[in-house]
Structure 1
Amino acid sequence: MFEEAVDRFLDVHADDAARARWRDQGFVDRETWLAAGEAGLLGCSLPEEYGGSGGDFRYDALLMERLGLKQALHFAIPLHTTVVAPYIAAYASEDLRKRLLPGAISGEKLMAVAMTEPGAGSDLQGMKSTAVRDGDHYVINGQKTFISNGYGCDVVIVAAKTDATAGARGISLFVVEVDKVEGFQRGRLLDKLGQEGRDTTELFFSDMRVPVENLLGGVEGQGFRMLMEMLPKERLVIAWQAMGMIESALALTVDYTRERKAFGKSLFEQQNTQFKLADCKTRATVAKTFLYHCTEKLVHGQLDAATASMAKLFVTEAQAFIIDECLQLFGGYGYMLEYPISEMYKDARAYRIYGGSSEIMKMLIARSI
């Protein structure tokens, strides 16, 4: 039933015209976010007492898969609902939860998380942003980059150093309510290789004063621990989105090769095409089976960082291979932007970078051996 509801929503609000508009303007319209909230898509795994549905990650996984199959992954519901909002649900004060989560679930408060800096990506300990306590506020200075939902966000979780000498133990997380602070500035929409419809920008903080009660966890130096607790799920979120794109690419390619004729018969009847598709289908099936395994572990609180890293590494590498093979089967048409496979080819490239690059995933996995 939930799958059917998601499909109905996307067929209306994420059709070809809407997706083209998102790419052209660089962001998803707020009206679409509000419609998603009205349809119950922004709180399927958030607590019922704040307006959510009280489900678990399996609903999020299904939503992500449908977004991929409908080629609507620029609509960053997974980031908003499954990555950012849970920080507030898990670590914020009850007052903040009551104030912010209902708006997040309705689509009235768009959420982002700001970790990456121009000089600190995967190495979060290298961040330079600082937060210094001054009475009942923290004064935050610094800069963040590559922030998804940054252009339109109303609430952003900012990682900053409360103790610049303590390494990872000096990182804290702050809930910034954008309309209630001064010294917050957004940069321009960043011009990206792909995912043009997913707004990505820089954020700047200049003597930005944030109330003490907006420190997540209520104690300084807990930010890195919170990030590490949440990152396994974030990496599974990325993997599930990649999986949805894989399934969409395969479906499009099978349909195209059945219709396209060459040397007197369809491309699908050519042995080379069959072998290529068999290889892609096998990799996709193995990837999805592993994702089911990881999802079950996450639901039962048993997903460790190394296994989540394996999921992100394997599925995003499979995504790159499969979409490349699929584009090749489209021939010259695969290089034309009017064909969705070419858009997928661009969009897929970032999946092996953000949320921890493939190289970082290998380092994390190696530490567990």
Structure 2
Amino acid sequence: MDFDLSEEQRLFRDVLRDFVDREIRPVAREWEASGRYPAEIVATMAEMGLFGLTVPEEYGGLGADMISFALVFEEIARGWMGVAGILGSHSLSCWLLARHGTEEQKERYLPDLAGGKRRTGIALTEPDAGTDLQGIATVAVRDGDAYVLNGRKTWITNARHADPLPVLCKTSATTPAHRGMSVLLVDAGTRGFTVERDLPKLGYKGTESCEVLFEDCRVPAANLLGGAEGRGMQQVLSGLEIGRVNVAARALGIAQEAYSQALAYAGQRKAFGKPIGDFQAIQLKIAEMASRVQAARLLVRWAASRADGGHRVDMEAGMAKAYAAEAAVFCSLAAMQVHGGYGYSTEFEVERLYRDAPLMMIGEGTNDIQRIVIARALLSGAAAIG
């Protein structure tokens, strides 16, 4: 079993790390505090081809393997997790289009999405339906050569820049509900499609999270993802598998950065005439942080490599996401404790890491849901350990 990156993956990681150190770290604290949108960073990510991570090469994308995909989110999240979120929703939506779109949809959207000329996200969550996607109330009724879409979505990343915005909706009243769900690709500027407000957040700043409203919004029937009704839930769930690898990698980035900041501070800060790293209380925290970071990394790469092998990774991605998210929360708090009073200051990075970490336990399915997914896979015999 090889736990090392390939030479190509190491070079790719080095390019990413240089980009983060050069263009993200120097501005992250100031831009996050001011609420400034990272337009220049987004432009550089487009030049690097990162918006084409999950777009096949034939449509101008990178067609990246999942290990490289995870490296992107780990490295960017180390610098500023909110920026990683801009790529996360976009990459998930591109994956859905590439795997489930009609040929006409792929040709129309993917080349521009790969180059960053277009951006996208995905509209799933509603005010009264988050984890329970079958409980959504957004509906689309067929009317000639179009669907009339009505409903409200919330917590939508990239909403102000999405073109198109894939929207999960109900196209029939079939029971069970998942058989009547579809995904419509709503183009920017479509009449009746309104991005209402940016939601205030504890962390995850740098990218917008919005409420969007659809009022008698006419969407061409040609924009039905895959061209057939009733496949939306299946399409979305398949995409959420790689979405969980993305969130797990972001959480790993937060945990790694928290550990790195604590390790450096423990060697610099002195108390009673010697570095605080010489005290056993600090050593215990450093050791535990390092162990959790490395365990999270192995789980993320295991899930990514299984996905590269063509396997379903419900269980693997669920394990990686749940464990890495909790490692991020633990390490960010431990780093704050190592820093003492300075850890509570906005002048130090650990304060932002502490605010960003909890979202990793919620996004792309809560950690409790991940454990249910893991247990069901094991109990059904669909997956095994050992």
Task: Tell me the CA shift for residue 335 of structure 1.
Answer: 0.6
Question: Partners of 1:148 and 1:115 in 2: how far apart?
Answer: 11
* AA aligned opposite 2:185: V
Q: Is the 8 A contact 1:43 1:81 kept in 2?
A: no
Question: Partners of 1:308 and 1:15 in 2: how far apart?
Answer: 28
Q: Secondary structure at the match of 1:114?
A: coil
Question: Partners of 1:136 and 1:23 in 2: how far apart?
Answer: 47
Match of 1:142 in 2: 151
Match of 1:169 in 2: 179
Q: Over residues 41-86 of structure 1, what are the superposed CA-to-partner deviations in whole Å (9 max), with x where a residue is unaligned?
A: 2213421121112331122111112112223543434324431111
Match of 1:159 in 2: 168
Match of 1:41 in 2: 50
1:107 paired residue among 94, 111, 116: 116
Q: Which moved more, 1:210-219 or 1:299-308?
A: 299-308
Alignment of 1:298-337 (within 5 A): 298-337=307-346
Q: Over residues 132-185 of structure 1, what are the superposed CA-to-partner deviations in whole Å (9 max), with x where a residue is unaligned?
A: 000000110000000111132222110000113431111100111113x11000
* AA aligned opposite 2:138: S
TM-score between the two structures when normalised by the length of structure 1? 0.95
Question: Partners of 2:312 and 2:343 in 1: how far apart?
Answer: 38
Q: Is the 8 A contact 1:22 1:198 kept in 2?
A: no
TM-score between the two structures when normalised by the length of structure 2? 0.91
Q: Secondary structure at the match of 1:341?
A: helix
* AA aligned opposite 2:148: V
1:95 paired residue among 104, 107, 124: 104
Match of 1:218 in 2: 227
Alignment of 1:269-308 (within 5 A): 269-308=278-317
| Residue 249 (structure 2) pairs with residue 240 (structure 1) | yes
Q: 1:365 to 1:4 in 2, by over 3 A?
A: closer
Question: Partners of 1:358 and 1:81 in 2: how far apart?
Answer: 22
Q: Is the 8 A contact 1:45 1:53 kept in 2?
A: yes
* AA aligned opposite 1:176: V
Task: Tell me the CA shift for residue 26 of structure 1.
Answer: 5.5
* AA aligned opposite 1:276: K
Equivalences, count: 367
Match of 2:13 in 1: 3
1:56 paired residue among 57, 61, 65: 65
Following TM superposition, the consecutive aligned residue runs of length 4 or more in structure 1 with deviations greater than 3 angstroms are none
Q: Is the 8 A contact 1:239 1:311 kept in 2?
A: yes
Q: Secondary structure at the match of 2:183?
A: strand
Q: Is the 8 A contact 2:67 2:301 kept in 1?
A: no
Long gaps (5+) in structure 1: none
Q: Over residues 228-262 of structure 1, what are the superposed CA-to-partner deviations in whole Å (9 max), with x where a residue is unaligned?
A: 21221111110011001111111111111110011
Question: Partners of 1:8 and 1:192 in 2: how far apart?
Answer: 29
| Residue 126 (structure 2) pairs with residue 117 (structure 1) | yes
Q: Over residues 265-302 of structure 1, what are the superposed CA-to-partner deviations in whole Å (9 max), with x where a residue is unaligned?
A: 11111111111111111111111112221111011121
CA RMSD of aligned residues (A): 1.7
Q: 1:81 to 1:130 in 2, by over 3 A?
A: closer
Task: Tell me the CA shift for residue 18 of structure 1.
Answer: 5.3
Task: Tell me the CA shift for residue 131 of structure 1.
Answer: 0.6
Q: 1:59 to 1:45 in 2, by over 3 A?
A: farther
* AA aligned opposite 2:290: K
Q: Secondary structure at the match of 2:226?
A: coil
Match of 2:5 in 1: none
Task: Tell me the CA shift for residue 114 of structure 1.
Answer: 0.2
Question: Partners of 2:239 and 2:301 in 1: how far apart?
Answer: 19
Match of 1:178 in 2: 188
Question: Partners of 2:370 and 2:63 in 1: how far apart?
Answer: 31
Q: Is the 8 A contact 2:185 2:223 kept in 1?
A: yes
Q: 1:331 to 1:78 in 2, by over 3 A?
A: same
* AA aligned opposite 2:339: F
* AA aligned opposite 1:215: L
Question: Partners of 1:20 and 1:241 in 2: how far apart?
Answer: 21
Task: Tell me the CA shift for residue 22 of structure 1.
Answer: 4.7
Q: Over residues 70-106 of structure 1, what are the superposed CA-to-partner deviations in whole Å (9 max), with x where a residue is unaligned?
A: 2354343432443111111111122221221122122
Q: Is the 8 A contact 2:148 2:218 kept in 1?
A: yes
Alignment of 1:7-86 (within 5 A): 7-17=17-27, 20-25=30-35, 27-29=37-39, 31-86=40-95
* AA aligned opposite 2:69: D
Question: Partners of 1:158 and 1:309 in 2: how far apart?
Answer: 24
